[in-house]
Amino acid sequence: MKKKKNTKNNLKSGRRILSVEERKEMSKPKSPAAETPEIKEPIKPPNVFKMMKSFGKDLSKYVLAGAPNCSKEDYKERLLTCDACPHLMRNVMRCGKCGCLVEHKAKWRTTTCPINKWKKQDVSDIKAKQEEAKKKQEEEEKKSDSGKK
Ligand code: SF4
């Protein structure tokens, strides 16, 4: 009587009762690799100096280029790549390679993944704009120099 009750309870709770053969199979020793699960070491973030250096470099590039952002599709794609990356520190959403906040870093078109996992962005228009701005600045400087003389 008790056995039937247990079976009913197990079936109600969605658990399946294993057969004797299945139990034997489960108790057999598996391969050594399967017995000792791979212990993943926690990702070590880069030191503060390296993080600041990397962030400063990315920020100056971004600002000098006129703060261009990625398209929504590229941003999503970058985040998905990071999500599948073993270097992502999920608890703080930082990249374990450069220490940057992934959500911000992925938005900036001028930034790149430290291990080149992201799709390359076309920054030719940014470079052209920068060169144009440089030329304008040089012309203005020349004009102001000639005006002083
Ligand atoms: S930026 Fe690159 S290395 Fe860092 S988490 Fe994303 S994919 Fe991984």
pLDDT by position in tens, the chain (length 149):
455 555 555 445 555 666 777 666 666 655 544 444 444 667 788 889 989 999 999 999 888 888 899 999 999 999 999 999 999 999 899 999 999 999 999 999 999 999 999 998 887 777 777 788 788 889 988 888 776 65
Q: Confirm or reject: Cβ of 117 under 6 Å from ligand 1.
A: yes
| Structural domain total, the chain | 1
Q: Nearest residue CA, atom 2 of ligand 1?
A: 113
Alpha carbon distance 113, 68 (integer Å)? 17
Alpha carbon distance 43, 87 (integer Å)? 7
Please provide residue 17's backbone torsions phi and psi, each rounded to the nearest 5 degrees: -85, 130
Mutation probe of ligand 1 site: the residue of 54, 83, 88, 120 with most atoms within 8 A of C-beta: 88
Q: Is residue 33 part of a domain?
A: no
HSE-up of 104 (CA within 13 Å, CB side)? Answer: 11
Q: Is residue 88 part of a domain?
A: yes
Q: Is residue 134 part of a domain?
A: no
Q: Confirm or reject: Cβ of 82 under 6 Å from ligand 1.
A: yes
Q: What share of the chain is helix, strand, coil (3-state, %, to 5)?
A: 55, 5, 40
Position 142 scores a pLDDT of 87
Q: Is residue 32 part of a domain?
A: no
Helix (H, G, I), strand (E, B) or coil at 30: coil
Q: Nearest residue CA, atom 6 of ligand 1?
A: 82
Domain extent for 99: 42-116
Q: Is residue 62 part of a domain?
A: yes
HSE-up of 63 (CA within 13 Å, CB side)? Answer: 6
Q: Is residue 89 part of a domain?
A: yes
Q: Is residue 76 part of a domain?
A: yes
Position 38 scores a pLDDT of 47
Q: Is residue 142 part of a domain?
A: no
